[in-house]
Structure 1
Amino acid sequence: PDDPAIAAQFVLKSSRARSGIQHMLAGFCDPGWHGSRLTLELKNVRQKHRVALWPGLLIGQMVFMPLSDNPDRSYRELGHYNKHETVMPSWETLKVGTGLTV
């Protein structure tokens, strides 16, 4: 959410969970997070069966939570994943010495 007084959380649809998909619980959008695609970590928990996913498949929903006040320092200023147009690896893997920068 671009508004610093709103946070959001991705929630997996129960129908997807019943089909064997599990969300790895990293879908929280801090107040001030903006300009990026939300990266979702999904796992097939069916050990011997594939789970089909396709473009346009509804897999979850976003729950938006208005805050009573703006945070002192928002993710807009502190966040590692703002303004990325593609999926990003963990910022912890982008440390000095790896050839990549934070």
Structure 2
Amino acid sequence: ARDGKLKIEDLQGGTFTITNGGVYGSLFATPILNPPQSGILGMHKIMPRPIAVDGKVEVRPMMYLALSYDHRAIDGKEAVTFLIKVKECIEDPKKLPLDF
């Protein structure tokens, strides 16, 4: 992948997709599952948005995330728990479970 030489065969057999419509300016969309995968995470454009912080309005960089998943394979509680963990890792990359 790093050499830019992926073939269509290399993209077969996955169970989960991460899609980034933000690079094309997408602000929000609901990603559609790629059967037979069980989930897809959509990441969107980072933009300054007003939010409430300690009772005051501040402008912060925000990115919407959208998770679609197959309820036959994944319970909603686990899906939301996963989405919250992704959000926390994006907000604070030191929380990423990486071991280099």
| Fold equivalence (TM over 0.5) | no
| Bigger relative CO (Cα 8 Å, ≥ 6 apart) | 1
- Structure number having the greater helix percentage: 2
When normalised by structure 2's length, the TM-score is: 0.21
When normalised by structure 1's length, the TM-score is: 0.21
